[in-house]
């Protein structure tokens, strides 16, 4: 029986397969390592974005918050848009409610992806663009998030922050996302929100957060 097994193995194994295995096994290991790093990055981002029980303002690296906030919803935007970061490396820490600022960024990025989907369609080969910038302007930190989705008409710029006001199709969204954003930026951080619109081109949300 042992000889039969040996003969079967020798017949099924061809030396030309050895070259294939030697080539493919390192590639498979490398792909596994990349997958593990991606999972680790997502887990770290999930830990960073949520700080349960933290109700006081803490000094926060805004650039890190931006990078964390694009990782969590990556599946929302990666098939729809190319995302570009332009972050000021010299930003000072911002005293803020970190979890809530992360929520603002997350909501805005998902909204940007949804706007691009509305304009181009879910299965369109054409991708849109999402650009996120951070910079300091006098005593404020500015976060700018632009997208090339369905631009918001100027006459609706103020209405979009009203509770339950929606620009998305029926069945998508609750109409509360931007109302929550306004509460966090304006009410809780004494900040300002500006919306710049170029019809049929892009929409930019600008969040101004005071350093003191």
CATH number of the domain encompassing residue 101 = 3.30.565.10
The model's pTM? 0.69
Number of H helices, E strands in the chain: 6, 7
Average pLDDT of the chain to the nearest whole number: 77
143: which strand partners?
134, 207
**Mean pLDDT over residues 187-211, rounded?**
90
Residues 33 and 101 placed together within one structural domain of the fold: no
Beta bridge partners of 207: 143, 193
- Taking residue 10's Cβ as centre, other Cβ atoms within 10 Å add up to 9
Number of domains observed in the structure of the chain: 2
Mean pLDDT value of segment 108-119: 90
Domain that holds residue 66: 55-210
- Round to whole Å and give the CA distance between 49 and 121: 30
**50 lies in some domain:** no
Domain co-membership, 112 together with 65: yes
Q: Dump pLDDT digits (tens) for 22-65.
A: 666 666 666 665 555 555 555 554 555 455 555 789 999 999 99
The set of residues, in sequence order, having a beta carbon less than 8 Å from that of 64 and lying 6+ positions away, is: 48
41 and 140 within one domain: no
CA distances from 56 to 100, 107, 133 (A): 11, 21, 26
CA distances from 135 to 39, 110, 162, 194 (A): 30, 22, 28, 15
Residues 126, 203: Cα–Cα separation, whole Å: 18
Higher-pLDDT residue of 153 and 131 is 131
Q: What is the pLDDT of residue 145?
A: 96
Instruction: Between 84 and 151, name the one with better pLDDT.
Output: 84
Quote the percentage of the chain above a pLDDT of 70.
62
Only one residue has tokens 């099924």, namely: 12
User: Based on the domain organization, do 22 and 93 belong to the same domain?
Assistant: no
Lateral strand order in the sheet of 202-210: 81-87, 128-137, 140-147, 202-210, 192-198
Q: Which of 148, 157, 161, 163 is nearest to 115 (CA)?
A: 148
């Amino acid at each position: 029986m042992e000889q039969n097994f040996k003969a079967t193995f020798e017949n099924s194994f061809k030396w030309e397969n050895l070259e294939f295995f030697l080539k493919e096994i390192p590639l498979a290991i490398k792909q596994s390592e990349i997958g593990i790093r991606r999972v680790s990055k997502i887990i770290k981002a999930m830990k960073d974005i949520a700080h349960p029980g933290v109700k006081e303002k803490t000094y926060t690296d805004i650039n890190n918050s931006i990078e964390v906030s694009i990782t969590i919803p990556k599946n929302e935007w990666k098939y729809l848009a190319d995302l570009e970061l332009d972050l000021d490396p010299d930003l000072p820490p911002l005293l803020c409610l970190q979890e809530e600022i992360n929520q603002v960024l997350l909501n805005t990025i998902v909204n940007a992806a949804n706007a691009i989907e509305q304009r181009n369609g879910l299965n369109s080969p054409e991708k849109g663009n999402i650009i996120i910038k951070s910079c300091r302007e006098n005593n404020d930190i500015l976060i700018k998030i632009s997208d090339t989705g369905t631009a918001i008409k100027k006459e609706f710029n103020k209405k979009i922050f009203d509770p339950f006001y929606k620009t998305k199709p029926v069945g998508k969204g609750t109409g509360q996302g931007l109302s929550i954003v306004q509460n966090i930026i304006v009410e809780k951080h004494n900040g300002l929100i500006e919306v710049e619109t170029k019809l049929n081109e892009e929409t930019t949300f600008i969040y101004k957060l005071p350093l003191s």
